[in-house]
Amino acid sequence: MADGEPKSKNADLPVRFVSAIVMIAIAGVAFWLGGWWWASFVAIVAGGVMSEWHRLSSAIAQSLAGKAVWLVAGLAYLMLASLTLVILRWDGTGYWLFALVLSVIGVDVGAYFMGRAIGGPKIAPKISPSKTWAGLFGGVLGAFVALLGAETVSTVLIMQQHGASGSEWAWRTIEGNWLWTLAAGAVIAVVAQAGDFFESWMKRRAGVKDSSNLIPGHGGLFDRTDGLIAVSALFAIIQLVGGVL
């Protein structure tokens, strides 16, 4: 997603807004229902992204072997991300999934507004001309605020159930975990932006603007989930490595 876009590119803002509301509503209902509803939703989205991945990679790879490598890599990448999203909701509360998704949204929002307000040097203009270092910094702050908010609300709710003061435990959460939360926000922001850069690179190599035109005003599913997929895949890898070690 772009850090900040010129006003001329916001002409379709009403369409983008309506599409965003519909996407959030569908995802929200699936998340609320949980179980197989959520798993089915993730599977459908992953299938759509895989279709777009195949479209892009087919335009990039020249040989049959190259296309096969891209296909296997895409399946592994999306499987790691999808399993993470399903498992994190399967625990009944979905707190970690909520925190993960909220942090990626925080990255996008923070990067957009900071990049638009400050601008400045580009990170990799040949891959994604709109991405700036200021936007990345805004993404780190956005993820930090999102994670801190999720932690605080969760702690307050738990402690209130035990008769403790909500404001007291909210402060203790902020005071005790803010440094780790900032570090986690930085990692999430960098990985989410890397996922965005990777998809932008794929589109440039394939010679297309969007991964598809499935979502009015937003492009394709891959366009909307590139950062979340990267962060979710990394989460899965960390869990796998941690289990082995």
Residue 102 above 60 pLDDT?
yes
Residue 245 above 50 pLDDT?
no
- The span from the CA of 87 to the CA of 96, in Å, is 10
- The span from the CA of 52 to the CA of 210, in Å, is 9
pLDDT in tens, 162-180: 555 545 555 555 555 778 8
DSSP state of 5: -
pLDDT in tens, 21-39: 989 899 999 999 988 999 9
- Quote the pTM value: 0.86
- The span from the CA of 223 to the CA of 141, in Å, is 22
Each domain of the chain, given as residue ranges in start order, spans 7-244
For the chain, where are the E strands, in sequence order?
none
Give the model's pLDDT for residue 44: 96
181 Cβ neighbours under 8 A, 6+ residues apart: 144, 147, 148, 151
Tokens of 135: 């936007």
- The span from the CA of 95 to the CA of 101, in Å, is 10
- The span from the CA of 106 to the CA of 114, in Å, is 12
Least confident of 17-21, 39-43, 107-111, 145-149: 17-21
